[in-house]
Structure 1
Amino acid sequence: MIDINFASLRLIGLTHTITNELVTFADAAPDARLMRVAEVHRDAIVLHDGAQTCQARQRSRLLQSLDAQQTSLAVGDWVLVDCVAVGTHWIGARIPPQTQLARRSADGSRQPLASNVDTALLVMGLDRDFNPRRLERYIALAHAALVDAVVVLTKADIGIAVDERMAQLRQRLPASVPLMALNALDAQQTRSMLAPWLDAGQTLVLLGSSGAGKSTLTNTLCASAQPTGGVRKGDGRGRHTTTARSLHQFAGGACIIDTPGLRSWRLDAEEDALTAAFDDIDALARNCQFRDCHHQAEPGCAVRDAVDADRLFNYHKLLREVRRSQQTPLDRIAERAKWKVLLKTVGPRSRSKRA
């Protein structure tokens, strides 16, 4: 029988939905324990049981199973652990995650960021870190994983043109995405504004660039001691002080996953998920004169003049990216062949015009 201390595991996000999944693991070892992944390192996995942490290793059958699914363990995963020797913990199985945030690397492989997340706090500084396009990319990432997104603008006490930037985002972003500005060093203000998402059993993940204030926010909420650093004077970018994802407990019963800043990454999303993140464009597009309107130069377009031009540009950019990621190798070969034919016809035409 699987050992479950619900009262203790509740403090690190255990829900009844997760426990219901355990009925499919009838063949688990008699002394198997349910634990949660708190950190993932190259040579070890750090697990949490609600009271303390321990290091563990993965059994070969689990590695083979995850490799077949083209995935790996991520912070936030729930796992079954066998204690087969003194001081040695072995992970025998992973409970299928209810939600999982992931990105695509340059080679197209899928890299999980965090599992079993309820809310993504999208952190952006009100200094030179301010970048609405990047924020829209994060919102699309959360929507693709069916995770609620909350925009948290930090450094409100030292930010640049705070009121103007808040007004810009309220006009640009979907009304369904909560938006707030705060000073992450002010514990009372931070906990008060984020209280609706800090209930017992909730799991939050912090996403944002380096230097945005994610670790400062974690330290303020969880009274932890995550290392923090300043930003570069030249461009205001962070120095990647946080180097690994980690799970932290909040005194009220929620838990928070802190993450390093994402450098360059591609969305792990389908076209429908991206459309949901830009639902204002999708709603307006129904009134366009043509069904296949690209919202560029077509007559009767209901989107082009009603949506922020930069937001529309970013939508097209992300849409191209998503479509490329869904292409098969044969699709890419066919597309290259098509462009080769078009380019060959351009040369003679341009020469004849010049003649």
Structure 2
Amino acid sequence: MQDFDDDAFLSIGLTRPIRQLLNTLRFDDTTRLVRVTEVNRHTVRLHDGTDDYSARLLPALVHELQAAGDALAVGDWGLARQEPDGACWLTDFLARSNALSRRDADGRRHVLVSNVDTALIVMGLDDDFSPRRLERFLALADASGVQPVVVLSKADLCADVPAALARLEGRLPDRVPRLALDGRSPAAAAQALAPWLLPGRTLVLIGSSGAGKSTLANALIGQAVQDTGPTRQHDGRGRHTTTSRSLHRLCGGACLIDTPGVRALRPDADAATLAASFGDIARLSLQCRFRDCRHAGEPGCAVRAAVDGDRVDNFLKLQRELRRDALGLLDRRQQLAQWKARARASRERLRSKRGA
């Protein structure tokens, strides 16, 4: 196995748990440990702690990933081989310590980033402020085992920051740190996030478009490496100025992954994760009059009596999505056929009433 420059590899996020997994890689004299910093259609950007370069995936690795229904993600670790002609190939990759994943409308899993320590959930204190969306991002982080930190950006645009923070009481668990800052100030951002910007740590910025992720990334990196753009005045939403995920090294020794904004988020979660993200609902449900209470208006529902209605509705919606994601392809098709049949029957009943 190659000799490691601890400081160099620490600067790209090589932590002790990941280092303990290195014996699973097939090292030889021609390969070198690297981290994936960007994934493009035909190439990837890699960093070996000293240099940054472009590479292609070895066909055998492509086939291995396709057979597993997987794809390379920013944050992955692997091995790169430099050919005499200058070509560089990614030949192998390391099993992930964790991964942030979401589901698409068909229930398929997509890995967003991997091997991260902290998820900075960014939301602007403007017209796009939504506790319901924060709860979804929290479920995404909890499902991966990554520590979530809520970062309320654009504090300079908010007339009453304490009131905005107060809106999150009862919506987010006490274990989740939350802070408000002006992402345009490098000093203020670095100071506020100092507990998580430790050498060797990897952080990821997640949030909707226009939340201020790229502005915060530029502040932490110390230069304008990510494009930023204006938000719409009527709802605070922004355009996708960041179009791909990318990993950057910070001056203090941490790594930061910036990601494109997402509008529709379906966390890749399970029942246990959902219960952790909505711990108050899980605890109160034990006090409901009926053991099979669905918290949908049943008498004696302890959840509806004590928890914000919007939070309960968000929990129930995530539950429905979770159950649908657990269905197989054939089951989903049968469910869709039933919904269509019910819709047709409903339309027929309406026509009959109008005709009568």
Task: Verify: 1:217 aligned to 2:216, yes or no.
Answer: yes
Alpha-carbon distance in 1 for matches of 2:199, 2:327: 42
Q: Deviations over 1:247-282 (max 9, x none)?
A: 111111111000111133422122221221111111
Change over 3 Å in CA distance of 1:346–1:272 after alignment to 2? farther
Q: CA deviation at 1:310?
A: 0.5
Alpha-carbon distance in 2 for matches of 1:243, 1:342: 38
Determine the structure 1 residue equivalent to 2:93.
94
Alpha-carbon distance in 1 for matches of 2:333, 2:239: 40
Amino acid at match of 1:91: L
Contact 1:2–1:31 (Cα < 8 Å) also in 2: no
Alpha-carbon distance in 2 for matches of 1:151, 1:104: 22
Alpha-carbon distance in 2 for matches of 1:68, 1:167: 48
Alpha-carbon distance in 2 for matches of 1:327, 1:41: 31
Task: Verify: 1:68 aligned to 2:57, yes or no.
Answer: no
Amino acid at match of 2:133: R
Q: CA deviation at 1:334?
A: 4.9
Amino acid at match of 2:332: R
Amino acid at match of 1:199: L
Change over 3 Å in CA distance of 1:236–1:342 after alignment to 2? closer
Q: CA deviation at 1:187?
A: 2.2
Q: CA deviation at 1:237?
A: 1.4
Change over 3 Å in CA distance of 1:163–1:82 after alignment to 2? same
Alpha-carbon distance in 1 for matches of 2:107, 2:188: 41
Amino acid at match of 1:251: C
Amino acid at match of 2:227: P
Contact 1:206–1:214 (Cα < 8 Å) also in 2: yes
Amino acid at match of 1:183: D
Determine the structure 2 residue equivalent to 1:33.
32
How much is the aligned-residue C-alpha RMSD, in angstroms?
Answer: 2.4
Give aligned pairs, total. Answer: 353
Alpha-carbon distance in 2 for matches of 1:131, 1:97: 31
Determine the structure 2 residue equivalent to 1:275.
275
After superposition, residues 109-258 of structure 1 pair within 5 angstroms as: 109-225=108-224, 226-258=226-258
SS in 1 for 2:205: strand
Q: CA deviation at 1:214?
A: 0.6
Determine the structure 2 residue equivalent to 1:21.
21
Task: Verify: 1:43 aligned to 2:42, yes or no.
Answer: yes
SS in 2 for 1:38: strand
SS in 1 for 2:78: strand
Determine the structure 2 residue equivalent to 1:105.
104
Amino acid at match of 1:43: H
Q: Matched residues, percent identical? A: 50
SS in 2 for 1:12: coil
Alpha-carbon distance in 2 for matches of 1:146, 1:87: 39
Gap regions ≥5 residues in structure 2: none
Contact 2:186–2:222 (Cα < 8 Å) also in 1: no
Determine the structure 2 residue equivalent to 1:319.
319
Q: What's the TM-score once normalised by structure 2's chain length?
A: 0.92
Change over 3 Å in CA distance of 1:251–1:342 after alignment to 2? closer
Amino acid at match of 2:131: P
Alpha-carbon distance in 2 for matches of 1:346, 1:252: 63
Alpha-carbon distance in 2 for matches of 1:310, 1:161: 22
Contact 1:127–1:160 (Cα < 8 Å) also in 2: no
SS in 1 for 2:46: strand
Change over 3 Å in CA distance of 1:83–1:346 after alignment to 2? closer
Determine the structure 2 residue equivalent to 1:293.
293
Change over 3 Å in CA distance of 1:337–1:108 after alignment to 2? closer
Residue range with higher mean Cα deviation, 334-343 or 321-330: 334-343
Determine the structure 2 residue equivalent to 1:304.
304
Residue range with higher mean Cα deviation, 299-308 or 334-343: 334-343
Q: CA deviation at 1:46?
A: 0.4
Q: CA deviation at 1:341?
A: 8.0
Determine the structure 2 residue equivalent to 1:81.
80
Amino acid at match of 1:215: S
